[in-house]
């Protein structure tokens, strides 16, 4: 009797993913609205969604991006929000945690007053479901602005501005940078232990094992990169070659953001035009 070689793992269709996103978003949104009240659903007027290959320099360039866009709030590093033991175990193997958990904890953080003027999200979105949720958040923000535009609360519901920024390096460069970072962390921690001075840094398995580093890059290419690219037709999109020297990378970031700033509509113009089909 022949044995089937087909993969028994069920695959989700795009339609199912969209429905999952709708269910996840509605569940999170309804819980937050019940907790805070509709008039308190005040999200940042500007969101910079920063994605990039492992080792592409997101952490290195985040402060510079905040400076260019005049964002004073600390960047939100999504991986740092997901610090339960179960989520840490998944991340240690180069995998990602569930979409609902990510969306819930992130939206709660974005409602904090410190992020009202703007926020940089390091590592979001990473999946198609998260992409759909961020689209729905944008639509909700536009809807709330329209709802409160003739009330004293209008000032709290700003015209939303989204930027997608992708820092890209190829697989070989990514793996080399991850392993280099791992060696540097180990050397640093050994010095801390020897001298008793300084703070121990996290030693990530993906930074010391080439296969795990390669798997992390593949996860980025097969899931995160396509997810971010799908937003290109909707929001400001910036693709940055991060294999260049740091000065050249930051010059490109500045040029991209300055160009897009010149295209942004004044809020009054936006309000006039948004009613058009």
Instruction: For 129-184, write each residue's pLDDT tens digit.
Output: 999 999 999 999 999 999 999 999 999 998 899 999 999 999 999 999 999 999 99
Q: Do the domain assignments include residue 122?
A: yes
What's the longest Cα–Cα distance across the chain?
Answer: 74
Q: Do the domain assignments include residue 201?
A: no
Check which CATH number belongs to the domain holding 162 and give it: 3.40.50.300
pLDDT at residue 2 is higher than 50: no
pLDDT at residue 228 is higher than 80: yes
**How far apart are the C-alpha atoms of 169 and 241, rounded to whole Å?**
7
**How far apart are the C-alpha atoms of 29 and 107, rounded to whole Å?**
9
- Predicted pLDDT at 272: 63
- Predicted pLDDT at 267: 58
**Helix axis angle, 128-147 to 14-36, nearest 10°:** 40
* Residue-number span of the structural domain to which 101 is assigned: 16-170+235-262
CB atoms closer than 10 angstroms to residue 109:
15
The 3-state DSSP class for residue 162 equals strand
Per-residue pLDDT, averaged over 12-39, amounts to 85
Burial class (CB in 10 A: 0-12, 13-18, 19+), 230: middle
- The structure tokens listed for 201 are 């840094």
- The structure tokens listed for 236 are 């400001």
- Predicted pLDDT at 57: 92
Query: How many domains is the chain built from?
Result: 1
- The structure tokens listed for 270 are 């936006």
Per-residue pLDDT, averaged over 96-125, amounts to 90
Q: Do the domain assignments include residue 79?
A: yes
Q: Do the domain assignments include residue 223?
A: no
**How far apart are the C-alpha atoms of 11 and 30, rounded to whole Å?**
29
**How far apart are the C-alpha atoms of 8 and 259, rounded to whole Å?**
48
Q: Do the domain assignments include residue 270?
A: no
Q: Do the domain assignments include residue 96?
A: yes
pLDDT at residue 53 is higher than 80: yes
Per-residue pLDDT, averaged over 97-114, amounts to 90
Q: Do the domain assignments include residue 246?
A: yes
């Amino acid at each position: 009797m022949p044995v089937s070689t087909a993969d028994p793992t069920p695959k989700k269709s795009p339609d199912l993913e969209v429905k999952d996103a709708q269910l996840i978003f509605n569940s999170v949104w309804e819980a937050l609205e019940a907790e805070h009240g509709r008039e308190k659903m005040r999200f940042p007027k500007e969101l910079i969604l920063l994605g990039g290959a492992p080792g592409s320099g997101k952490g290195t360039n985040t402060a510079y991006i905040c400076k260019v866009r005049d964002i004073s709030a600390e960047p939100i590093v999504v991986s740092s929000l997901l610090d339960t033991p179960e989520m840490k175990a998944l991340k240690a193997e180069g995998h990602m945690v569930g979409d609902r958990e990510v969306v819930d904890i992130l939206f709660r953080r974005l409602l904090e007053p410190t992020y009202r003027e703007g926020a940089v999200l390091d590592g979001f979105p990473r999946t198609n479901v998260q992409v759909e949720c961020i689209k729905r958040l944008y639509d909700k923000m536009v809807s709330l602005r329209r709802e409160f535009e003739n009330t004293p609360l209008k000032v709290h519901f700003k015209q939303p501005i989204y930027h997608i920024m992708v820092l890209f390096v190829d697989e070989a460069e990514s793996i080399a940078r991850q392993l280099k970072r791992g060696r540097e962390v180990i050397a640093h921690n050994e010095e801390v232990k020897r001298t008793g001075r300084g703070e121990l840094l996290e030693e990530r398995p993906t930074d010391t094992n080439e296969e795990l580093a390669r798997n992390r890059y593949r996860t980025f290419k097969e899931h995160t990169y396509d997810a971010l690219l799908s937003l290109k037709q909707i929001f400001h999109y910036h693709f940055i070659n991060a294999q260049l020297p740091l000065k050249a990378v930051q010059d490109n970031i500045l040029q991209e953001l300055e160009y897009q700033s010149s295209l942004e509509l004044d809020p009054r113009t936006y309000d006039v035009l948004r009613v058009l089909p």
